[in-house]
């Protein structure tokens, strides 16, 4: 026998298709939302699904993910191009799609609270919506499992990376950053302690001098910060005991 790569004739087999699917998260009005599209055709017509689609012959999976996201959701091209995509994992069970053999590379992205996916862009975008993950329920294919994996991954990543700032607008208050953690982890955090930890981590956030959020809200105006150059959190910011998944 030769090794597994030799003597393979791809046309002798039913071909694989390779897809890229995305779990794009945002935090809005105190709950974690995921971007879903409603399927227009069988299978799973009318069901909600993660945005995604086939990888074309000259694309990497990540390129395909960006292209599909732009096509299906009408998010602005600059937004999609700048988006930090992270590969989650690949789903390759033989029967995960009833039509044919489809191997799907899943990606995760975090975005600040954006306007609703442009319905004026017409076409696919009209079927895209932000849905609270708690309300996502049944999804097409194995997308519910992908969503669960993505959710658990981002919860863990908040512990040891600075990724939480990706959920925030360019300038944000520490209260807003804390709300991201509390929303993703579904647990309240002590405000002074959170503040101390964030400020003590070099490069996590940087003060925007002289700026303060002029919200219509009550209370003392909060200082504004922007994301710093750090990417990892050492030591990590662990969620309270009993809130891990």
Of 228 and 236, nearer to a second copy (C-beta) is 236
Q: How far is the CB of 3 from a second copy (least distance, A)?
A: 5
Q: How far apart (Å, rounded) are the C-alpha atoms in residues 75 and 71? A: 8
Query: What is the three-class DSSP state of 115?
Result: coil
Radius of gyration of the chain (CA): 20
Burial 37-48 (b: 16+ CB within 10 A, else e): bbbeeeebeebb
Q: Of the listed pieces 34-42, 165-173, 189-197, 217-225, which binds a second copy according to CB under 8 A?
A: 34-42
Please report the beta strands in 63-204, taking only residues with DSSP state E, as ranges in sequence order. 85-91, 102-110, 128-132
Q: Does 98 bind a second copy (CB under 8 A)?
A: no
Q: Does 226 bind DNA (CB under 7 A)?
A: no
Rounded (10°) angle between helices 174-185 and 143-160:
140
Q: Does 191 bind DNA (CB under 7 A)?
A: yes
Residue 164 has what DSSP assignment? G
Q: What number of chain residues touch DNA (CB under 7 A)?
A: 23
From candidates 26, 32, 48, 52, binder to a second copy by CB under 8 A: 52
| Cβ 134 vs Cβ 47: under 8 Å | no
Q: 81 has which bridge partners?
A: none
From candidates 134, 207, 212, 238, binder to a second copy by CB under 8 A: 238
Of 113 and 194, nearer to a second copy (C-beta) is 194
Residue 2 has what DSSP assignment? -
Q: Exposed, middle or buried by CB within 10 Å (0-12, 13-18, 19+), for 197?
A: middle
| Cβ 23 vs Cβ 146: under 8 Å | yes
Q: Does 4 bind a second copy (CB under 8 A)?
A: yes
Q: How far is the CB of 192 from DNA (least distance, A)?
A: 3
Q: Does 197 bind DNA (CB under 7 A)?
A: yes
Fill in the per-residue mask, 63 to 92: x = in contact with a second copy (CB under 8 A), - = not in contact.
Answer: -----x--xx--------------x-xx-x
Of 6 and 138, nearer to a second copy (C-beta) is 6
Positions that interact with a second copy (CB under 8 A): 1-6, 8, 10-11, 13-19, 37, 39-41, 51-62, 68, 71-72, 87, 89-90, 92-94, 100-101, 103, 105, 123-124, 127, 160, 232, 234-236, 238, 241, 244
């Amino acid at each position: 026998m030769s090794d597994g790569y030799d003597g393979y004739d791809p046309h002798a087999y039913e071909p694989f298709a390779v897809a890229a699917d995305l779990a794009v998260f945002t935090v809005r009005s105190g709950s974690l939302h995921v971007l879903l599209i409603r399927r227009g055709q069988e299978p799973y017509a009318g069901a909600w699904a993660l945005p995604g689609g086939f990888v074309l012959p000259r694309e990497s999976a990540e390129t395909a993910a960006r292209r599909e996201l732009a096509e299906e959701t009408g998010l602005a091209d600059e937004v999609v191009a700048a988006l930090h995509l992270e590969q989650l994992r690949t789903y390759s069970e033989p029967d995960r799609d009833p039509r044919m053999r489809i191997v799907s590379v899943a990606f995760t992205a975090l975005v600040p609270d954006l306007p609703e996916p442009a319905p004026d862009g017409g076409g696919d975008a009209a079927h895209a919506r932000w849905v609270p993950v708690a309300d996502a329920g049944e999804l097409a294919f194995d997308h519910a499992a992908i969503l669960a994996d993505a959710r658990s991954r981002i919860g863990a990543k908040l512990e040891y990376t600075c990724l939480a700032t990706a959920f925030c607008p360019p300038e944000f208050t520490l209260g807003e950053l804390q709300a991201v953690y509390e929303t993703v982890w579904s647990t309240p955090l002590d405000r002074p302690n959170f503040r101390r930890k964030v400020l003590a981590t070099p490069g996590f956030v940087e003060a925007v001098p002289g700026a303060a959020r002029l919200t219509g809200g009550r209370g003392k105006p909060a200082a504004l910060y922007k994301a710093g150059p750090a990417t990892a959190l050492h030591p990590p910011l662990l969620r309270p005991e009993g809130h891990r998944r």
